[in-house]
Structure 1
Amino acid sequence: MKEILDEIDSVMHKNTWVLSDLPPNCKALRCKWIQKSKIKVCGSINKYKAKLVIEGFRKKEGIDFFDTYAPVARISTIKLMLALAVIHKLVIHQMDVKTVFLNGDLDEEIDMKQLEGFLMPGNDHKVRKLKKSLYGLKKAPKMPSKV
C-alpha cells in the first residue's frame, strides 16, 4: 500500500489533473493500478512498485489520436557519444527519471474516471481532466518533457 501512496504523491505533486465535469458526448477513460515486485539477484524481494495506468488502448487511431511516434536514440549514436567521451576523457553519468511521463504536457483534452478508493469527497460525479501525460496513453512517449 505504501507504493500506491508514493505514486499518488508523485502524481499529485506534478499537478497531473484537475477535477471537472465531463463534457457532453464524451467518455472518460478508466485507470488501474499495475503493481510489481523488484527481485534481487538472490531471489528475495527488493521492493514493491506501483504505477497508475490509464486505459489508453480504448482510444481509436485516426479518431482520438493520429501520431504515436516517440524519438529514441539509435545505438550507433550512443556508441559515438561513448567513443567521444573516451577520447576527450569525459565523465559519463546515467540518469533515470522515475516519473518521466508525468513531465509531458498534453496537447488535447483527456478525461479520466476517478480512482476507486481515492474519490474526492463531494465530487463523486466529477472526472479528472488530465493536464499531464500518464502511463498508458498512446501519445505519452511523444509528449514534450521538461526534464
Structure 2
Amino acid sequence: MSLFPEFDAKIIEKIEETNDQAQVLFATVERGSSAAEFASLEPTYNEVLGGLSAVLLQVEARPQPETSERLINRIVGRERIQDLCRESEDVPADDPRACFLVVTPSALKEARKSISEMRNAHERLGLGPVLAENYRNLFNISIEQALTVEAALAVSAGGI
C-alpha cells in the first residue's frame, strides 16, 4: 500500500532531457536576444514546450494509488483543502485527481508556463539579460520540484 504512484524511469528521463534542452535555450539568450533573433530560436522553444507537454501527459496518465485518494478524503476540512488545491492547480471542480500528494503535474505546468511566457515576450519585444534570468529562475524552481519528486519515487522503488 502506497500513497505515491509507481516510479516510471521514462518520466524522469523525459524531464531530464527537456530540462537539458531548456538550459541550452537559457544559455543562448542569457546575454539578451532581440525580437529579430526569435525566429532562429522558435524551433528550440517548440521542442522544449512539446517535451514538457508530452511528459505532462505521461505524468497525468500515471495511475494514482487509491490510498492517496482515500487519505485526502479523510482529512478534516476536506472541502476547503480541495478548494485550495484546485485554486493552486487550476483543476476543474469535478476532477477527482485534485490535490494528490505528488506535485509533479503542477510543477511541469508551471515550467511550461514559464517557457511559454518567455517565448511570447521574446517574440514580441525581445529578451534582456535580466528578463531572461527571471524566466530561467521561474523555470528552474518548477523543474527542480518535478525532478526532486521523481527522484524520490525512484529511490523508494530502488530505481536510482
Fold-level similarity (TM above 0.5): no
* More helix, by proportion: 2
Higher RCO (CA-CA < 8 Å; seq separation 6+) = 2
Structure (1 or 2) with the larger CA radius of gyration: 1
TM-score between the two structures when normalised by the length of structure 2? 0.27
